[in-house]
Every structure is written in structure tokens, then in C-alpha cells.
Amino acid sequence: QVQLVESGGGLVQAGGSLRLSCGASGRTFTYHTMAWFRQSPGKEREFVARISMGGGSTTYADSVKGRFTISRDNAKNTMTLQINSLKPADTAVYYCAAKPGNTRASRAEEYDYWGQGTQVTVSS
């Protein structure tokens, strides 16, 4: 069982930056692939980025490549998402998610554990 809590969202102007964090409870954080998803009103939850158990492999959605950076610190049971060059289209609730083992999963229904989400709002 992994419990996840996101933080770091807020209101920012276009072109600005935010750093989202996801804290995890439990001793098994290291054994989970971690991911970020986001969801805007009226839209399905979409994949943003994924990081392998050891942190050596990362994958990004095309829409965020070059602007977002996912990382994790297994010693601290935390994952972060550095978001740069924010656009109004990035406005959404951002969720962290976990799935046991190394996986290439990018669909929300494939992930087992979820945080409550943190709101990111980008003004133009």
C-alpha cells in the first residue's frame, strides 16, 4: 500500500515555473513506477510523465517534452515535477500515481495508487 500526497500547485503567469512534489508513505516506494497525470474540466485524465523505479528511465508526453522534468528521491520517498515555460493549456489538476514494478504504462486505469491532486492554473 502506498499513500501519495501532492503539493506545490498554484496560480502562475504564462511563461512561469512551478515545482510539484509528491510524497509517499510506506517502505515500498522504491519498488513502484511513478507517474504524473493531469485532468482539465471536461477532459479525461491524461499522462504527463513517468519515471522508473530507480529513476534512470523517464518518459514524457509530447505536449510537455522539453518543458517538464520528472525526478525522484527514493531515500526521501518523494517525486517531483519541474514545470517550466507554463502555458494556459497546462491548467489542470495534477495527480501523482504509482504502480508496482517497472512498467511502461501510460493509461490512468493502469495505475494502482493516486494522490488527491494539486491545482495548477496558468493565466495568460
Indicate the SS3 state at residue 76.
coil
Q: What is the pLDDT of residue 1?
A: 82
Residue 47's Cβ-side half-sphere holds a number of Cα atoms within 13 Å equal to: 20
Q: Give me the amino acid identity at 56.
A: G
Q: What is the pLDDT of residue 26?
A: 79
Q: What is the pLDDT of residue 65?
A: 97
pLDDT in tens, the chain (124 residues): 899 999 999 999 999 999 999 999 977 899 999 999 999 999 999 999 999 999 999 999 999 999 999 999 999 999 999 999 999 999 999 999 999 999 999 999 999 999 999 999 999 9
Q: What is the pLDDT of residue 27?
A: 78
Question: Cβ neighbours of residue 93 under 8 Å, at least 6 residues apart?
Answer: 9, 38, 39, 40, 117, 118, 119, 120
Q: What is the pLDDT of residue 31?
A: 95
Number of neighbouring beta carbons within 10 Å of residue 20: 24
- Residue with grid cell 515535477, as numbered in its chain: 81
**Distance from chain centroid for Cα 7:** 11
